[in-house]
Amino acid sequence: MGRAPCCEKMGLKRGPWTPEEDKILVAHIQSFGHSNWRALPKQAGLLRCGKSCRLRWINYLRPDIKRGNFSKEEEDAIITLHEQLGNRWSAIAARLPGRTDNEIKNVWHTHLKKRLEPTTKQLEQEQHGAHAGGGAARKRSRPKRAGARKTTTAAVAPATTAPASPERSAASSSVTESTEQEQGNTGTSSPGFPKEESFTSSSEAAEEFQFDDTFWSETLSMPLDSFDDVPMEPCSGAFGDVAASSSSSSVGADADLDYWLGVFMKSGDAHQQLPQV
């Protein structure tokens, strides 16, 4: 219905965020939370629209953002989840703590889609319509969102991101090839992060994806100091929402969803048998 007039464009700044703006935004959210995005920039003294602030926070400044390369497990999870959920990036992101929908969407379009295309064609040839509705390229129209409209952001143990400058951070880089290297880096789990507790509360999410322990550790190895008292209340319902969304998606679950779920479970098993994973 009523669409908000995106922002009063008069006098509002656009484009890349400066470190100063990041600081202001982070400091304000630390102090006051973000219960009202629209009012936030005014309160914080930022010449940005609320939408822009929200996006910056969610995609970049949030303390639980995991930056850097996607691991093989994450990529596989994205692929599988995309098969299940379609282009519902936020739902996918909700199952990959530390990753944002925007980031996942980017990775999908820049890497995974390309990587998948040849195999998809092969599969189609092999299966020859055995599962008519269940291809990887299956498109879904945007589903009606039922119920809660809380953020799907995963509430994870707070950690720090150095407020990133508008310039590309060295950590954010291309994905795939560095998998082995990254695995080496993430070989030790971070002491600061209650990994199991944090994510098993997301019910199915954690049960569905039994990544190895190193999987989450990268996020968590970030220093915790400065975000310890970030009021994360707006995110607190996140996992409830995850559960809700996943259950709502399974409410309408049809046979082929089950099929793909099964495929994923198998692929999860297959993972553990892969020599490099």
Partner DNA sequence: AACAAGTTCAACCGCGTCATA
Partner DNA sequence: CTATGACGCGGTTGAACTTGT
CB nearer to DNA: pick between 16 and 262: 16
Q: Are 153 and 65 in contact (CB under 8 A)?
A: no
Cβ at position 63, least distance to DNA in Å: 15
d(CA 153, CA 170): 24
CB nearer to DNA: pick between 39 and 274: 39
Residues 154-173 that bind DNA (CB under 7 A): 166-169, 172-173
Q: Are 99 and 132 in contact (CB under 8 A)?
A: no
The DSSP string of 178-189 is: GHHHHHHHTTS-
Residues 56-115 that bind DNA (CB under 7 A): 56, 59-60, 87-91, 101-103, 105-107, 109-111
How far, in Å, are 8, 17, 18, 34, 163 from residue 166 at the CA level? 23, 6, 6, 22, 9
Residue from 152, 161, 186, 226 in contact with DNA (CB under 7 A): 152
Residue from 51, 131, 138, 271 in contact with DNA (CB under 7 A): 51
Cβ at position 54, least distance to DNA in Å: 5
Q: How many residues belong to the site for DNA (CB under 7 A)?
A: 56
By CB under 7 A, residue 43 contacts DNA = no
Cβ at position 80, least distance to DNA in Å: 16
The tokens for 188 are: 């030790």
CB nearer to DNA: pick between 172 and 188: 172
The DSSP string of 39-107 is: THHHHHT-SS-HHHHHHHIIIII-TT---SPPPHHHHHHHHHHHHHH-S-HHHHHHTSTT--HHHHHHH
Residues 232-261 that bind DNA (CB under 7 A): 234
